[in-house]
Structure 1
Amino acid sequence: MKLSILDQSPVSSGTTAQQALKESMKLAKTGEELGYSRYWVAEHHDIAGLSCPAPEVMLGYIGAHTESIRIGAGAVLLPHYKPYRIAETYNLLASLFPKRIDIGIGRAPGGSAEATMALSDNYLEQVRKMPESFDDLLHFLQSDFPSDHLFSKVSASPQPEVLPEVWVLGTSEKSALLAAEKGTAYAFGHFMSNNDGPEIAETYKRNFSRSSVVSKPQLILAVTVVCAETTEQAEEIALSSMLWSIQVKAGEGEKGVPTVEEAKRYSFSAEEQQKLEKMKKKMIIGNPKIVKQKLIDLKRLYLADEIMIITITHHYKERLQSYKLIAEEILSH
């Protein structure tokens, strides 16, 4: 089974954004040593407890401290940016770190309405134009605009020997159809979707059009996982991240991921308890053998080519341990 890492660079209570970002670098290095295929870092804007608004900056830092693991954005939020600027940036990264760069493209705002307005103009209009913007991005990367196009003589320099891999990220049929129509790889966010994931994955594969980007469908499944030596330990560790997720959605997560002890003392309301149960159903929590079997089951259900794991814990050492236990159970056999 091919495994990868998705990192949101979370800040734990009592720590700083600087520490969280350094821990992201440590996670990428550890993932490389353990045999994970790729490391992606997410883009968020003014969301309490998340420290990375600029994946491209983090990728330069992480690329310089790693040797072989593929690194990328999960995702670049295209409606906020001009396609040319994205192509230039990721071509530069691909020149610095050959055969290692991925561009995951998403359409979400990545923050509040106010943050979106501060970041870009006419966001909803740019979402509507996303298929056209995505076309422009692919043309800039491949330097193949038609000769009569306004940008036919514009180069997204520097030109790397090997182009970045392009992925569409999403949780809906719309994103699946975009990836299929444009002939790119697709990453489905199981961890943040309430939709019929396997059917969306099938929609992507059924409608896939072979292109110069990839010759056949490629599917990554992104899943939230917490693994520990025992399932009881994993459940305790996971509780703090679930509480934090509830707090963030309520606009109260500015203190960062709470400790397990804080989560145990917290009095969940009936509504919060319902949210907790829903989250548990989307997550994989357990000891290494349980986690392995559930990942195998999900991979078969989706017919995924790769599983991308997101793990958030209060203690960064518990996050590293979770990835280590999974790798030892799956990647070393």
Structure 2
Amino acid sequence: MKLSILDQAPVVAGQSPGDALRSSALLAQAGERFGYSRFWLAEHHGLGGLACSTPEVMLGMIGAVTSRIRLGAGAILLPYYKPYKVAETFRLLAALFPGRIDLGVARSPGGPAEISMALSDNYLERALRMPDDFAALVRYLNDEKPGTQAPEQEDSIQAKRGSAQALDASSTGPAPWVLGTSVKSARLAAAFGTGYAYGYFMNRENAAEAIAAYRDAFDRSRGERPCVVLAVSAVCADTQERAEEIARGVKAWRLLAGQGRGEAGIPGPDEAARLLGPDDSASTDESGLEHAMIVGEPSRVRDRLSELRETFGADELMIVSYAHDFADRLRSYELIMQACGD
């Protein structure tokens, strides 16, 4: 199966956000060695324990220390920005690293309300205008300049769609993607013929409906065919016992985040045991609709990932893997590729 990496730049207990960002670069290099197809960085703001607020800055640095793996934002939170500026930034990255840059966008706030207000006085209004802004973004990615549309067309989403041609896979420009967990985001991707990445690790409930809506509505005049990436959380280790030990640290971190203490970072085994209790098990953390996580030794993880790929017909699986120890995190990605990769 085709595999990629989604990195949220998690902070580890005892380390700084800068350490987390430097680890992201090391992870991208390792992902390239292991054979992963893409490395995407997420954007978060004021969200304790997640260090990357500006993926575009990190991508410039990571592009300079890698040579083949596709790099992208997963995602730029478009309601905070003017589409033309986002297009300029990613066209510049594409010029530096031709044929390697993806631009994923989403409407999520990516942080608490007070941070959203600090970033944009009209976030909610801009979120509602996401289809218009995405239409403009796609035009600018295709090198159309502001003012080239008639005034009446600027206010018409249907007219905007008429000029939006998604870049194909062979293009050297930035390839646009829509990321989300809803039918609304799926239909936006379908309308512009772009790829669609569904955040299964964030919300399992809407996956089947959203992906079906994307495929049903996909506009083949703007894209060759639908392409679905399913983003999944997984922890893999050489043994089931070790995988569960690593995952307990991740589960404890989520507990801290729920208490507003996520900035403390992913705790080590001793602290995780103290927070969760000695009898807690991380092996079956798939009962809730959010934060589903596959935990196990390689064959178990392979079987579960294969099942998800078949269930949703995913073209690609994008793996989110956390660990307190960076060596464990690298090993998780290495084992997953060895067990599942093309």
Please report the TM-score for the alignment, with normalisation by the length of structure 2: 0.89
Aligned residues with identical type, % of pairs: 48
SS at 1:167 equivalent = strand
Any idea what the Cα deviations from partners look like across 1:43-98, whole Å, max 9, x if unmatched?
A: 00011111100000000010000000000000000000000000000000000000
Partner of 1:158: none
Cα distance change of structure 1 residues 234 and 132 upon mapping to structure 2, 3 Å threshold: same
In 1, the alpha carbon distance for the partners of 2:290 and 2:210 equals 21
In 2, the alpha carbon distance for the partners of 1:276 and 1:327 equals 22
1:265 aligns with 2:280: no
Contact preservation (8 Å) 1:246, 1:275? no
In 2, the alpha carbon distance for the partners of 1:287 and 1:275 equals 15
> How far 1:194 moved relative to its partner?
4.1
Contact preservation (8 Å) 1:184, 1:211? no
Contact preservation (8 Å) 2:3, 2:316? yes
> How far 1:181 moved relative to its partner?
1.4
1:173 aligns with 2:183: yes
Partner of 1:111: 111
Contact preservation (8 Å) 1:55, 1:73? yes
In 2, the alpha carbon distance for the partners of 1:148 and 1:49 equals 43
> How far 1:143 moved relative to its partner?
2.8
Contact preservation (8 Å) 1:101, 1:165? yes
Partner of 1:295: 305
Any idea what the Cα deviations from partners look like across 1:126-146, whole Å, max 9, x if unmatched?
A: 011110000000011113478
> How far 1:185 moved relative to its partner?
0.7
Partner of 1:149: 150
> How far 1:329 moved relative to its partner?
1.6
Amino acid at match of 2:102: D
Partner of 1:224: 233
> How far 1:276 moved relative to its partner?
8.4
> How far 1:148 moved relative to its partner?
4.0
Number of aligned residues: 319
In 1, the alpha carbon distance for the partners of 2:241 and 2:196 equals 34
Cα distance change of structure 1 residues 149 and 282 upon mapping to structure 2, 3 Å threshold: same
> How far 1:149 moved relative to its partner?
3.3
Amino acid at match of 1:196: N
Q: How do residues 44-59 of structure 1 correspond to structure 2 at under 5 angstroms?
A: 44-59=44-59
Amino acid at match of 1:62: I
Amino acid at match of 1:297: E
In 2, the alpha carbon distance for the partners of 1:9 and 1:56 equals 14
In 2, the alpha carbon distance for the partners of 1:63 and 1:172 equals 31
In 2, the alpha carbon distance for the partners of 1:82 and 1:89 equals 11
Partner of 1:256: 265
Cα distance change of structure 1 residues 326 and 177 upon mapping to structure 2, 3 Å threshold: same
In 2, the alpha carbon distance for the partners of 1:225 and 1:16 equals 24
In 1, the alpha carbon distance for the partners of 2:3 and 2:336 equals 9
Contact preservation (8 Å) 1:172, 1:195? no
Contact preservation (8 Å) 2:103, 2:176? yes
In 2, the alpha carbon distance for the partners of 1:10 and 1:296 equals 26
In 1, the alpha carbon distance for the partners of 2:113 and 2:149 equals 38
Unaligned runs of 5+ in 1: 153-160
Partner of 1:197: 207
Amino acid at match of 2:107: R
> How far 1:210 moved relative to its partner?
1.6
> How far 1:267 moved relative to its partner?
4.3
In 2, the alpha carbon distance for the partners of 1:148 and 1:3 equals 39
Cα distance change of structure 1 residues 254 and 279 upon mapping to structure 2, 3 Å threshold: farther
1:238 aligns with 2:247: yes
1:188 aligns with 2:198: yes
CA RMSD of aligned residues (A): 2.1
In 2, the alpha carbon distance for the partners of 1:139 and 1:254 equals 38
In 2, the alpha carbon distance for the partners of 1:207 and 1:58 equals 34
Q: Decide which of 201, 219, 232 is 1:209's aligned counterpart.
A: 219
In 2, the alpha carbon distance for the partners of 1:176 and 1:258 equals 35
Amino acid at match of 2:246: I
Any idea what the Cα deviations from partners look like across 1:228-262, whole Å, max 9, x if unmatched?
A: 01111111101111121222133121211111221
Amino acid at match of 2:235: V
SS at 1:285 equivalent = strand
> How far 1:282 moved relative to its partner?
1.7
Cα distance change of structure 1 residues 280 and 85 upon mapping to structure 2, 3 Å threshold: closer
Contact preservation (8 Å) 2:71, 2:100? yes
In 1, the alpha carbon distance for the partners of 2:16 and 2:7 equals 16
SS at 1:10 equivalent = coil
In 1, the alpha carbon distance for the partners of 2:211 and 2:32 equals 28
SS at 1:47 equivalent = coil
Partner of 1:157: none
SS at 2:124 equivalent = helix
